[in-house]
A and B are shown apart, each in its own frame.
Chain A
Amino acid sequence: MKAKVAMTFVCALFLVPLTSGCWDRREINDIAFVTAAAADITQDNHYRVTIQVPLPGKISDVGQKGGGGGSSGNKAYFLDSTIGDTFRAANAKQQNAMSRQLYFSHMRVFVFGEDLARENIASPIDVMSRIPQNRMTTYLLVSSGPAADLLNAQATMEKTPAEFLRELANESMIHPRTVKRVTEALLAEGQDPIMPVVSWTTTKPGDAGDAQTNLKLNGLAIFQKKKLVAMLSGRAADGVLWAMGEFRRPLITIPAKNGSGFVSVMVTSYHVRTTVKPTQDGRMVCQIQARVTGTLSENTSNLTYERSQNLASLERQASQAVTDDMRIAVDQLQRLHADPIGICNRVYRNYPGYWHRVKHNWRDEFYPNIPVQIDAQVEIRNSGNATSPVGIPEEELQS
């Protein structure tokens, strides 16, 4: 009897591979790994979805030796762009023209075209959170101009533009904007999302070389919830990053006294505190305090910064520069009625009762009128290994 049961069990085991059919089985070489996707909107309100699929045979030296075969062509990646009513519809169309199954788990970057971002970023994000293959850690970027173009840049530094974009996104902020962070910002009260902007450039080394298309970070995309309202760049963008405490490896460059050159301060660490508190007369005041520590990294003036008043004045100048950056940024943001810093979110969290009184029209009435006090203190711990300009004789130095 026991033997019979055992035999039945063994027979059943043998059936498992046949009946279950390994329904999810897909070999790694039957998969098209999408590493970057871009979304644009067409004139007639359809989505144009562009995906980048690296060709494994091209991208890695492994497996080149034997057997040959695999992917062919010049580029290390395959780019496909289709139009559809929804993302999935566009993807389905792409799938029809593919020998391998599209696979989104390894999508590291998603780029919104400028037009689409001005329209609505919420619906593409819906796809990302709905399909389990997509990851919440995918970096989000906004392109200035059509997003599809970004995926076609040469970006020779990496093997594919996708990788290049991923590294750019990773460098853009201390906490790069991922699907998770943007979704959080979209859902939070009194908070707007923000994303880095990437644009095309051409680099041309001198007159001789061929021009190459490249990609660069170019400021910040400011949103009002799901709609892009402006792209900031330059000092305003820096100021936003300062105020958010998201500035990655900031460098403060300021003119030296007497207009004789410039001084760069490399920031080694900094801390930004944003607080809100109600005043006596029932208004809300915001205070942004930045404590910055840095070292002197370059000095093109003839001033020496060793044990002298110059260092103190340099600290003052640098503090002023950071304060100015933030001031420009906050003024701009208040004018744009967008709050990526989350000032209103802090009101909501700390003074919920107050927030409920003002929240019905916070974006247009409450937020633009909050007085923001900005205070930055730069401390220069180390005046650099070469305190005085190296190339200038000692007697010409001003202390």
Chain B
Amino acid sequence: MSGRVLIRRRRRRPTESVRGPEQQGTELDASTPLEIEGGSSYAASCEIPISDHLHDNLTMMLKVFSDCSDLQVRHLCVGHKRDACMLYLSGLVNPADLSEEALRPLIYDFQASDEHVIDWLSPDKIRDEGVLLARVGRADTFRKAIDGIVDGRAALFVDGVSQAVLLSTSGPERRSISEPETESVVRGPREGFTEDLSVNIALLRHKIRTPQLKAHSFTLGTYTKTAVLLVYIEDLADPKVIAEAKRRISSIEIDGVLESGYIEELIEDQPMSPFPQFQYSERPDTIAAQLLEGRFAIFTEGTPFVLIAPVTWWQFVQASEDYYERFFLVYLVRVLRYISLFLALFLPAMYIAVTTYHQDMLPTSLVMSVAAARESIPFPAIIEALIMELTFEALREAGIRLPKAVGQAVSILGALVIGQAAVEAGIVSAPMVIIVAITGIASFTLPRYNAAIAIRLLRFPMMLLAAVLGMFGIVIGVMWISIHLCKLRSFGVPYLSGLAPYKRKEVKDLFFRPPWWKMVFRPSSFAHHNRKRMAERQMPGPDKRSGSRGGAR
């Protein structure tokens, strides 16, 4: 019965989407008090040209902005002659700029040089002679004027002019550039992106100073009108990938985009995969490095988190600092991360499998201590593990959300309750506490939070498989994960690219980082042409001709 209904609904959907954002808007806006001919004033205003009567224009604007108490209306007289009106939203413009750079010249200095010319007050004239602001635009329809005002500009309507002048000021204060909290480094730049798109792109431009750094602009969200930039380096990124990215982004129809996560979920290749297909970062240096490898980035207004694609799994095991520290250390750290990755995913499952199926896999003395610890535990290993893992996850979740002052209480509670009380009460065995602790620490060593989440999620099915089928279950799980990873693509790039498909030259940067003078080529998965990033044979060393001291006398 429900099948028929489902099918019918599905058929109806395309016709709904055809109607487009404006009409959807009318439906949603039905409750707004002021309506023009059955629709909202905003939707109706859309293509109406601005008239040359200031009064009419003002009436129209006030209708559209009815009940918007933050709309400021400033009447003025341009060049002591002509009535004009400036409209802006109070928080979005800098009033000092406006009064100094626009109002003062318009009121006092603007002279009608030649009154016989009919068009003496054209927008061009105002722009060229009237105001001192750098960015001045114009609007010939109400729609453009309104969009300009919501975007943080001031609209100047002048009587007798059928256009509005849009004046951009420096805008309100936003959060200043600070050290990114989610990706702190010991060595490396300390600046992070902010919520302001123009600041963010500027931060990137500071790193990559070339006009080949392209920033293709999109506006997403019927209501939020969020500015989104697709950023790439023209010579490096694969044009096909860029075209596909443009296609995917421009096909998004949504009422609002508040964070890059909206975009991520709407354009990823395999939405049902637990593995992230975008990397995000709030570090300009990370984004710059990725762009230099031929990837693209998606900047979203209002969030410091910038998306990167196409990605491979290996990126999630790498931190930006890997490329700043000397390579010996990185070698160790990467090996450590892979071990941690393995532990975070399999350790609880292995413990369950070994203690409930394969007791022969442990050395006798170890099996004795485990058996002794489990002697008085009332639950089977899987239940015990689930209790501990869930408690740990709950603690972690609580720790993230709580205010910092309370957060400390959570950790004390966690340490006491789980670490000690549960063991002493004989509810959970001590080895299990150790296992969960190791697992937790291991999952924290992964430098990318979204990858760590995937591992964290997969741990539970692995534990269940281990509880049901022992080691066989784990092997089944490993096979399932490997097959899935091999199948996964991010914008056409295989997720395990480098290892599968195997690329001899790239494998070295997966498991350990070669020194910089060895990484002559960009990864071929992203940059298909123009792959050489540096001159070959740059291994440094003292000049042999000048003697063993290498020039130092």
Known: A60-B373, A70-B375. A22 touches B468 (CB 8 A): yes
| B355–A71 touching, CB < 8 Å | no
Which of A29-37, A206-214, A240-248, A366-374 faces chain B? A29-37
| A57–B356 touching, CB < 8 Å | no
A103 and B364 alpha carbons, distance in the complex (Å): 12
| B357–A25 touching, CB < 8 Å | yes
| A67–B355 touching, CB < 8 Å | no
Q: Is B376 in the interface zone, CB < 8 Å from A?
A: yes
A350 and B425 alpha carbons, distance in the complex (Å): 67
Known: A22-B467, A27-B381. A57 touches B359 (CB 8 A): no
| B357–A65 touching, CB < 8 Å | no
| A63–B468 touching, CB < 8 Å | no
| B368–A69 touching, CB < 8 Å | no
Q: Is B242 in the interface zone, CB < 8 Å from A?
A: no
Known: A28-B356, A35-B364, A54-B368. A62 touches B376 (CB 8 A): no
| A103–B369 touching, CB < 8 Å | no
Known: A24-B357, A27-B374. A56 touches B424 (CB 8 A): no
Q: Is B171 in the interface zone, CB < 8 Å from A?
A: no
- Chain B 329-385 interface residues, beta-carbon cutoff 8 Å to A: 355-357, 359-360, 364, 367-377, 380-381
A67 and B375 alpha carbons, distance in the complex (Å): 9
Q: Is B429 in the interface zone, CB < 8 Å from A?
A: yes
| A31–B359 touching, CB < 8 Å | yes
Select A20's contact among B369, B380, B469, beta carbons within 8 Å. Answer: B469
| B359–A60 touching, CB < 8 Å | no
Closest to B465 in A: A16
Q: Residues 48-90 of chain A: 1 if any B CB is under 8 Å from the residue's CB, otherwise 0? A: 0000001011011111111111110000000000000000000
Select B376's contact among A26, A28, A70, A103, beta carbons within 8 Å. Answer: A70
| B424–A66 touching, CB < 8 Å | yes
> What secondary structure prevails in chain B residues at the interface with A?
helix
Closest to A107 in B: B364
| A33–B467 touching, CB < 8 Å | no
- Chain A 13-27 interface residues, beta-carbon cutoff 8 Å to B: 16-17, 20, 22, 24-27
Closest to A54 in B: B368
Q: Is A204 in the interface zone, CB < 8 Å from B?
A: no
Select B359's contact among A20, A28, A59, A135, beta carbons within 8 Å. Answer: A28
Select B367's contact among A22, A64, A66, A106, beta carbons within 8 Å. Answer: A106
| B374–A28 touching, CB < 8 Å | yes
Q: Is B423 in the interface zone, CB < 8 Å from A?
A: yes
Known: A20-B469, A60-B369, A60-B372. A66 touches B356 (CB 8 A): no
> What secondary structure prevails in chain A residues at the interface with B?
loop
Q: Is A105 in the interface zone, CB < 8 Å from B?
A: yes
| B425–A62 touching, CB < 8 Å | no
| A20–B468 touching, CB < 8 Å | yes
Q: Is B426 in the interface zone, CB < 8 Å from A?
A: yes
Give the Cβ gap from B196 to chain A, nearest Cβ, in Å. 43
Q: Is B523 in the interface zone, CB < 8 Å from A?
A: no
| A29–B367 touching, CB < 8 Å | no
Known: A17-B464, A20-B468. A67 touches B425 (CB 8 A): yes
Q: Is B470 in the interface zone, CB < 8 Å from A?
A: yes
Q: Is B458 in the interface zone, CB < 8 Å from A?
A: no
| B425–A28 touching, CB < 8 Å | no
Q: Is B430 in the interface zone, CB < 8 Å from A?
A: yes
11 A-B Cβ contacts within 8 A? A22-B468, A25-B357, A29-B371, A56-B372, A59-B368, A60-B373, A61-B372, A62-B369, A64-B372, A68-B376, A106-B367
Residues of A within 8 A of B (CB): 16-17, 20, 22, 24-29, 31, 33, 35, 54, 56-57, 59-71, 103, 105-106, 108, 133, 135
Residues of B within 8 A of A (CB): 355-357, 359-360, 364, 367-377, 380-381, 423-426, 429-430, 464, 467-470
